[in-house]
């Protein structure tokens, strides 16, 4: 069923360098499409959104009550990412604005990064590569281990955590998980009743929780104290989940043998901007600029999934996969 409202009067604004496939899909549908590479602040976004029918964002742009006060024509918000914590869903619902995201589209990419980093950290590959670039040959096997037979603790057993569980088990790892919600164990994974139980058991710990504010500083001083000596630690979830100062302390002390961090409490707004962290220049520490889902496949999947759901909603009213809150 076609809509009666002329498609060429529907204006789309895509922010934060959303993949071009999204632009192409909306243009093919007959919409007016504008792109903006950055994440505007609240004041700027409130101005830009005035005549917009469809808004596309990624993780950095916040859709607040104040922004929505200027969104008289807004019909839908598309989050071209997994999470929707940056969107005030209650405020959207009060205004009849529907929100879609891409809950599955970059899962595989994040999982592959985690697996790769676990192996690199267990073998000390990153530091060995740096040394060899400097002309230093070190073929020693000291401190280098297989992942087979090691205990992997997954904090957050959602779409990413559960898929990681399956692949890690295929590599011969013994998998434990902890989640505040009841989740079905896949394969031979074992549920931990408490977070502390998981921390004490695991040789490798990886965090994959959502962006709920209740997860702020979920892993801090006491949690690091509870971990094994020589543990490997990864965070590919949200920057505010881990106390970076405490993490730095335990890396320097040697308790944490290696770490891979893809997300930070404060991140630059754009590519090329300066970045500083106390984790820089530490041994066997891999730092990546929030690229867990930054693969061509993932971004294409997202750029096709979200527009297709929005277009279907505009054309037929189908709200499946949307986030609708009761007022």
Residue appearing with tokens 């909306």: 26
Residue whose entry in the numeric block shows the structure tokens 């889902």: 293
The structural domains of the chain, ordered by start, are 7-105+296-323 (3.40.50.720), 107-287 (3.40.50.720)
> What tokens were used for 241?
């989940």
The low-confidence residues of the chain, meaning pLDDT below 50, are 1, 326-327
pLDDT of 327 reads 40
pLDDT of residue 326: 45
Measured between alpha carbons, how far is 95 from 170 in angstroms, rounded to an integer? 47
How far apart are the C-alpha atoms of 181 and 160, rounded to whole Å? 15
Distance CA 50, CA 34 (A): 13
Tokens of 296: 């061509």
pTM: 0.89
Radius of gyration from C-alpha coordinates of the chain:
22
Catalytically active residues, by annotation: 238, 267, 290
Question: What are 95-128's pLDDT values in tens digits?
Answer: 999 999 998 889 999 999 999 999 999 999 999 9
């Amino acid at each position: 069923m076609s809509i009666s409202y002329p498609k060429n009067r529907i204006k789309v604004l895509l922010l934060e360098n959303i993949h071009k496939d999204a632009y192409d899909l909306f243009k093919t549908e007959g919409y007016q499409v504008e792109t903006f590479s950055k994440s505007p602040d609240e004041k700027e976004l409130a101005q830009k959104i005035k005549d917009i029918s469809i808004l596309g964002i990624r993780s950095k742009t916040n859709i607040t009550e104040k922004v929505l006060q200027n969104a008289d024509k807004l019909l839908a918000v598309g989050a071209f990412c997994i999470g929707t914590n940056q969107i005030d869903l209650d405020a959207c619902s009060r205004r009849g604005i529907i929100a879609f995201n891409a809950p599955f589209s970059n899962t595989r990419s994040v999982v592959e990064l985690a697996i790769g980093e676990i192996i690199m950290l267990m073998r000390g590959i990153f530091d060995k590569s740096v040394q060899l670039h400097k002309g230093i040959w070190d073929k020693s096997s000291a401190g280098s281990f297989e992942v087979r037979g090691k205990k992997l603790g997954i904090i957050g057993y959602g779409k990413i955590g559960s898929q990681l569980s399956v692949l890690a088990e295929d590599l011969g790892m013994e998998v434990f998980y902890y989640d505040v919600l009841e989740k079905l164990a896949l394969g031979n994974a074992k549920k931990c009743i408490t977070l502390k139980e998981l921390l004490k058991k695991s040789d490798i710990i990886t965090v994959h929780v959502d962006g709920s504010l209740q997860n702020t500083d979920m892993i801090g001083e006491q949690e690091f104290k509870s971990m094994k000596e020589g543990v490997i630690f990864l965070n590919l979830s949200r920057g505010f989940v881990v106390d970076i100062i405490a993490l730095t302390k335990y890396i320097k002390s040697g308790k944490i043998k290696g770490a891979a961090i893809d997300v930070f409490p404060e991140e630059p707004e754009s590519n090329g901007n300066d970045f500083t962290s106390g984790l820089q220049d530490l041994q066997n520490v891999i730092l990546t600029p929030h690229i867990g889902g930054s693969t061509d496949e993932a971004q294409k999947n997202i750029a096709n999934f979200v527009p297709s759901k929005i277009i279907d909603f505009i054309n037929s009213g189908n709200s499946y996969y949307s986030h609708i809150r009761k007022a």
